[in-house]
Structures are given as structure tokens and as C-alpha cells.
Chain A
């Protein structure tokens, strides 16, 4: 992708797409090989994948292949897996996803059906209270005129308000599935159930059995039930929605691989709900996890211990602790110049990135000058060369493709963006009249995870690891870990300090100044 093209537009496009497809295939292989190093428990049959070559070497290989004139014949290059087969790991991963999703749905639907049944029961109870006497012993009832009708209206409207409130508060698609029960919601449902059951008991014993003739009393009883239901709804709002709004705790979430940290202010929540909030914010705050950036420190760590070998001269005694201590002491003592290497390497990298960035910015600015939005009147004049945004993007893309690819390769982001996505983004920017700088914004800085397509997230399945029960509330000093496959988020809870605010009144007339002289006189 880093060579000049002399082909026509379409063949260029297909060549590029094949290159990028293979490229993404390679990156998937790399991801697979790397994820094998991480602690996944599934055993997998290793199909011989290409060795994880350094990124630059890999791509020059690719470049040479595309440069070949017979690229049509030689595109069936040797890769570990062909483009259409799935390796063992993929199969395991797919089945795992499937059974997880099936399990989730069952649990989710169970909760929903229980809640729906309860809600229906609660809603129909007052109506049943009103209708049953009329149906069962209409003749014995005292006639009840305007008072009853007034009460009927109030029952109707209160039921309507209750219905709207419940729809607003509870009829929302669940945004997550939690490991344990949501305690407060379960308690509220139990409360409502007990409440309605007690009302039914009273009704059944005192009214149905004795066939009370005072219909107004019965209607008032139904009204009191609806009032109490409204109050329970109010309680639900306060417990479920309002209580956690006031921030009490500050949570620090640190990503274990690169130390990126963010703080979130939360109120009184259970650990699992707090974890949910943090995960929702993870996708928008943390930059996307980039495993390519972690290899440098790993290789340094390997080099630290690489030069030392421990020989056991005292016989086959298992002196593991002594060995490791000896190694640490020796490593500390020897003259390590890796800090020097790190310093120069980083300075070099900075310079290279800046140079590539400058070239990229210039290339993009130049490319954007070739495109001009056509006005309405002009559209009728020259219908020949009119292009829609997608074609315009494809037209100017080749001039900046090389600079962009080089920049992405230097900052190790090239696996996050496919050529398709770049062209789509370019068309999007052209449509919305964005400047070159706005187009580049998503490539110059690694953005939050949501910005990328789902395959690049590396963060789809989360496990909550905590020493306290996950339904217990947040406490100062609590630590829990949200583990994903490639990395984990370590969350520490700290209490927001009690703020003592005092006031001081300053009289506006008290702002007075004097001149301070420091003169020196010679005598």
C-alpha cells in the first residue's frame, strides 16, 4: 500500500483491497498468536501461522508482492490460514459467544416476564376491586351517586398516571446483564407483591365473604390502594434513580496494560452497578487498546533477565528462592545501559512521528483542495463530472494514501483502520464540509474505543472480580477488577472528602491601597 500506482482506478482499488484484506488477515493472525500467550484456557490446535514478524518487515514484504507486475498470479501467497477457513480458536470463540448470548437471553427474559406479570396483576387489582361487587352481588349494593362517580374518575386518572410513570421508569430495554440480582429492584417487587397480597386478603375476607353492601366504602378502599401504589412508585423512583445521583465516591479506573487512568464520581451504588457505569464510560473515555504498543516494554523486560544464567553448584537442592534473589541482585549490580537505549529510541521515534505527521498533513491538505462543493446552478451546467461523496473520496484518496499509511505504521495504528473505513470517513468528511484537520483528527490521536468498529475493540466480554459480594455497596478503600481477555481495569474507590466551606465578607469599600516608597538618599 506504500507504492505509487500506475494502474487504472479499479484495478488499483482491487489490488489495495486484497492487500488490506491480507493485511487484516495477518493482523488477526498476530492477534491470535498473541492471545495464545495470554492466559486463555482453551487448548487449540496450532495451524502453522506465520511467525510474528516485526511490523515494518512484514509490510515491506507485502509491498514487494504488490509491486510485482504479475500480481494477479502471485496473490495466492503463503499465509498460515487461507482467507476462508476458520481456525480452532475462532470456532471456540464463536461457540462461547453463542452459548453466552443464549444464557443471557433466558435470564433476561425471566426477569422481564416476572416483572411484567407482577405489573399486570398490580394494575388490574383496583379494577377488579371495583368490578367484582358489581358482578357478584349487584342487587345488594347501596346506590351510590355522585360521590362514587367522583371516586371513579379519581381512580381512573390515578391509574393512568401510574401507568405512565411505570412506563417511563421501568419499560426500558436493559442495558446490561449483571452477575447477581439487582437487590433494590427485587426488594421493591417483593414489597409490591406483599402489599397487593395483603390488600387482596383483606378484600377477600372482609368484603367478598361478607358481601358488604356499602359500595362507596369499597370504592374508597380501591382508591386507597391506588394511592398507596403511587407512593410505592415514588419510593421506587427515589431508591432506584435519585439516591445514587449525589456523588459520594470517586472511583479511579486504571487499565493494567498501559496505565491509562480516569476518575469517575458516583453516588451510593452496589459494586456491580458501579462496574456497569465504569464500563459504559470505558468505551468513551479510554483510548482503544493497542497491543502493538506494548511489545516494546516486554522486549526490554526480557532483555533485563536474558543475560543472566543461574547455575546450581551445590547439588540438586531446590533453592528457588535463593536463585531468584541471586538473579535480582546480579541484575541490579550489572551496568545496565538500557535506559540510554530507551531515551534515544524514544527521541528517535518522536522525530519520526513528527516528520511523518508533517508529510501527512501536507498531503491531506493538498488532496482536499482538489475537491470543491458544487452549487445548485452549476449542477445543471456540467453534469459530466459530477460525483457523489463516495466517488469524490475515492478520487482523492490515492494521493494521501501513502502518507497516511506510513503515519499509521509509525504510530502502530495500522491495524485499527481498514482502507474501506478510511474511505468511508473521507466521504463523511467531504459531505459535512470538514477541513483536512477535522478529517485527520481521528487518525492523529488514538480515539476512544467506541470510535472503532467492533472487531478492533479487544473488549467485549467482562468479568467482575471482587473480594466483597458484588451486591454490597461501595465503600472507601474498596478495590475490584474488571477483567477482559487482553487486559483488566483495576478500580479503586475513594470517598469524596467532606467539604467545609466557610464564608468571608469583603466590604467593597475596603479595597484601599498605599504607595510603598523605598527611596535611597545619598548624603
Chain B
């Protein structure tokens, strides 16, 4: 998933639709994110490319809406409701996910296993 600046990013993605849960007065999605263009990409355990500054899912709470929707730990979030997440700061990502007037977030996520499967099927 290495990105060459200037080239379009191609990835095999999965569509995940998460319905936010009302918890008290907050709408929560049930996962945690890490990463961003202002963060240190070298600490990312979910990717081999240590220069990848994308947003990754670091934790998925048990039984939460994200787990129900099929989000896995280590997924890289490419789009949220049409907004790009590959070149955003950590705070911008947080804001896009936690908009109060949205009940549903539609994510496009990619993960390594998806890439591998596609590559294998292309080889065969």
C-alpha cells in the first residue's frame, strides 16, 4: 500500500456502514483510530510500509456498532462518507467521523488480506 506522491491511489476496498449508537448524549461508533499526516508513521503496527500516514483502526470495542458492521482492527480507512482520509490530520479524521448531525457513516476500508486475496486471484 505504498503511495507514490502524484500517482492515484488504487486499493481494493470494502464498504462498511456503521450506524452510530447513542450513548448518553454522545454518538459513538465503537472503535479507535490512530495515524494521520501529523503523526509518526513508524509506530504503526498494521502496515509494512512505515511511511504510510493514513488513518488506521487500532481498537474495536466488543459488541459495538463497528464490530457489528464488520470493521476489523488494522483496517485502513480510505473514505468516510465520501471524504478522503488518506491525507488528513488526526484531528480532521476525528471530526469527520464524529459529526453530530450524521447517524450513519459509510466507510471505505482496505486491509492487507483483501489485497492478498485479489493478488492471488489475479495470479491464478
Instruction: List chain A positions with a Cβ less than 8 A from chain B.
Output: 516-523
Decide: A520 and B31 in contact? CB cutoff 8 A: no
Instruction: List chain B positions with a Cβ less than 8 A from chain A.
Output: 28-29, 31-34, 38-40, 43, 58-59, 61, 90, 94, 97-98
Select from chain A the residue with minimum beta-carbon distance to B94: A521
Q: Specify which of B38, B40, B43, B97 is in contact with A523 (CB 8 Å cutoff).
A: B97
Considering the chains assembled together, what is the distance between the CA atoms of A516 and B32 in angstroms?
A: 19
Decide: A517 and B38 in contact? CB cutoff 8 A: yes
A-B residue pairs, 9 tightest by C-beta: A516-B40, A522-B32, A523-B97, A520-B34, A518-B43, A523-B29, A521-B94, A520-B32, A520-B58
Considering the chains assembled together, what is the distance between the CA atoms of A516 and B42 in angstroms?
A: 10
Decide: A518 and B39 in contact? CB cutoff 8 A: yes
Decide: B59 and A519 in contact? CB cutoff 8 A: no
Distance between A513 CB and nearest chain B CB, rounded to angstroms:
13
Decide: A520 and B59 in contact? CB cutoff 8 A: yes
Select from chain B the residue with minimum beta-carbon distance to A518: B43
Distance between B35 CB and nearest chain A CB, rounded to angstroms:
9
| Chain A contacts for B98, CB-based, 8 A | 523
| Chain B contacts for A522, CB-based, 8 A | 28, 31-33, 59, 61
Our count of residue pairs bridging A and B at CB distance below 8 angstroms stands at 38
Distance between A518 CB and nearest chain B CB, rounded to angstroms:
5
Decide: B31 and A519 in contact? CB cutoff 8 A: no
| Chain A contacts for B43, CB-based, 8 A | 516, 518
| Chain A contacts for B38, CB-based, 8 A | 517
Considering the chains assembled together, what is the distance between the CA atoms of A291 and B97 in angstroms?
A: 82
| Chain A contacts for B33, CB-based, 8 A | 520-523
Distance between B45 CB and nearest chain A CB, rounded to angstroms:
11
Decide: B29 and A519 in contact? CB cutoff 8 A: no
Considering the chains assembled together, what is the distance between the CA atoms of A517 and B35 in angstroms?
A: 9
Considering the chains assembled together, what is the distance between the CA atoms of A519 and B102 in angstroms?
A: 24
Select from chain B the residue with minimum beta-carbon distance to A517: B39
Decide: A518 and B40 in contact? CB cutoff 8 A: yes
Decide: B97 and A519 in contact? CB cutoff 8 A: no
Considering the chains assembled together, what is the distance between the CA atoms of A216 and B59 in angstroms?
A: 107
A-B contact pairs, 30 of them (CB 8 A): A516-B39, A516-B40, A516-B43, A517-B38, A517-B39, A518-B34, A518-B39, A518-B40, A518-B43, A519-B90, A520-B33, A520-B34, A520-B58, A520-B59, A521-B32, A521-B34, A521-B90, A521-B94, A522-B31, A522-B32, A522-B33, A522-B61, A523-B28, A523-B29, A523-B31, A523-B32, A523-B33, A523-B94, A523-B97, A523-B98
Considering the chains assembled together, what is the distance between the CA atoms of A240 and B34 in angstroms?
A: 73
Distance between B42 CB and nearest chain A CB, rounded to angstroms:
8
| Chain B contacts for A517, CB-based, 8 A | 38-40, 90
Known: A516-B39, A522-B59, A523-B32. 20 other contacts (CB 8 A): A516-B40, A516-B43, A517-B38, A517-B90, A518-B34, A518-B40, A518-B43, A519-B39, A519-B90, A520-B32, A520-B33, A520-B59, A521-B33, A521-B34, A521-B90, A521-B94, A522-B32, A522-B61, A523-B94, A523-B97
Distance between A90 CB and nearest chain B CB, rounded to angstroms:
77
| Chain B contacts for A518, CB-based, 8 A | 34, 39-40, 43
Considering the chains assembled together, what is the distance between the CA atoms of A519 and B40 in angstroms?
A: 9
Considering the chains assembled together, what is the distance between the CA atoms of A516 and B39 in angstroms?
A: 6
Considering the chains assembled together, what is the distance between the CA atoms of A183 and B14 in angstroms?
A: 87
| Chain B contacts for A520, CB-based, 8 A | 32-34, 58-59
Select from chain B the residue with minimum beta-carbon distance to A519: B90
Considering the chains assembled together, what is the distance between the CA atoms of A516 and B38 in angstroms?
A: 8
Distance between A522 CB and nearest chain B CB, rounded to angstroms:
4
Distance between B83 CB and nearest chain A CB, rounded to angstroms:
14
Considering the chains assembled together, what is the distance between the CA atoms of A523 and B29 in angstroms?
A: 6
| Chain B contacts for A521, CB-based, 8 A | 32-34, 90, 94
| Chain A contacts for B32, CB-based, 8 A | 520-523
| Chain A contacts for B90, CB-based, 8 A | 517, 519, 521
Considering the chains assembled together, what is the distance between the CA atoms of A520 and B60 in angstroms?
A: 12
Considering the chains assembled together, what is the distance between the CA atoms of A521 and B95 in angstroms?
A: 11
Query: Among B29, B39, B59, which residue has the most Cβ atoms of chain A within 10 A?
Result: B39
Considering the chains assembled together, what is the distance between the CA atoms of A170 and B121 in angstroms?
A: 89
Distance between B101 CB and nearest chain A CB, rounded to angstroms:
15
Select from chain A the residue with minimum beta-carbon distance to B44: A518
Select from chain A the residue with minimum beta-carbon distance to B93: A521
Query: Among A516, A517, A522, which residue has the most Cβ atoms of chain B within 10 A?
Result: A522
| Chain A contacts for B34, CB-based, 8 A | 518-521
Considering the chains assembled together, what is the distance between the CA atoms of A60 and B12 in angstroms?
A: 88
Select from chain A the residue with minimum beta-carbon distance to B20: A523
Query: Among A516, A517, A521, which residue has the most Cβ atoms of chain B within 10 A?
Result: A521
Distance between A313 CB and nearest chain B CB, rounded to angstroms:
66
Considering the chains assembled together, what is the distance between the CA atoms of A520 and B58 in angstroms?
A: 8
